[in-house]
Amino acid sequence: MMIAIPGVLDAAQLTHFRETLSAASWQDGNATSGSQSALAKRNQQLAETSAAARELGGAILDNLGRSALFIAAALPLKVFPPLFNRYEGGGRFDTHVDNAIRYQRGTDFRLRSDLSATLFLSDPEDYDGGELVVEDHFGTHRVKLPAGDMVLYPASSLHHVTPVTRGARVASFFWIQSMVRDEGQRRALFDLDTSVQALAGELGQDHKEVVRLTGLYHNLLRRWADA
């Protein structure tokens, strides 16, 4: 399941992010790569322990904590502190699968990567190429969202970033361990939650069918979730 989360950052936040990132020190993107990714990745990255990464990553997590769409789609248990990368001058990331377990260096924090997230920080018209291409059972999906928007997709999917041939593509990326491990169960819960909210808007939160379906949602979540 791929879900776009619009407006994670507003215009003022984007301006602050861009100013902070333009003044930051970038390093080779392979600093956090596994052995497979190191062969495929050609980009730059902020050090995950840098002050800029910590500040901006914290702002992203604060905003996502207020996003009903993100919470409904991801059912997050743990979120890896957001990282930041930049592609330019032909930079790319060839086809790969994200590591199943992600570790935060120097800590005992780790998570199972159920979902991957990319938050776009550059306007699409400011660079050529740089599409996120995700392959799943339903085909190939090409993603290039407006600045401030984010896409969620299964970390288990094959995906790549096409070469950036003009300008620079700057983004934040991170992983989520969901309370519900199974992708099919997460999709069913998301579809049910979306339908319940739509019915509640038409019939009211206290309508007997809305109450019944809300109970069904929570009973399924109780059965499937690890919290």
Q: Are residues 150 and 219 in the same domain?
A: no
Q: Are residues 133 and 193 in the same domain?
A: no
Q: Are residues 40 and 145 in the same domain?
A: yes
Q: What is the predicted pLDDT for the residue at 75?
A: 98
Using 50 as the pLDDT threshold, list the residues of the chain that sit under it. Answer: none
HSE-CB at 132 with a 13 A cutoff on CA atoms is 26
CATH code for position 110: 2.60.120.620
Q: What is the predicted pLDDT for the residue at 137?
A: 81
Domain range for 192 is 183-224
- 3-class SS string, 49-93: CCHHHHHHHHHHHHHHCCCHHHHHHHCEEEECCCEEEEEECCCEE
Do 112 and 151 contact (CB within 8 A), yes or no? no
Torsion of CA 171, 78, 51, 147, to 10 degrees: 20
Q: What is the pTM of this model?
A: 0.93
Per-residue tokens: 9? 């950052």
Q: What is the predicted pLDDT for the residue at 227?
A: 82
If one counts the domains in the chain, the total is 2
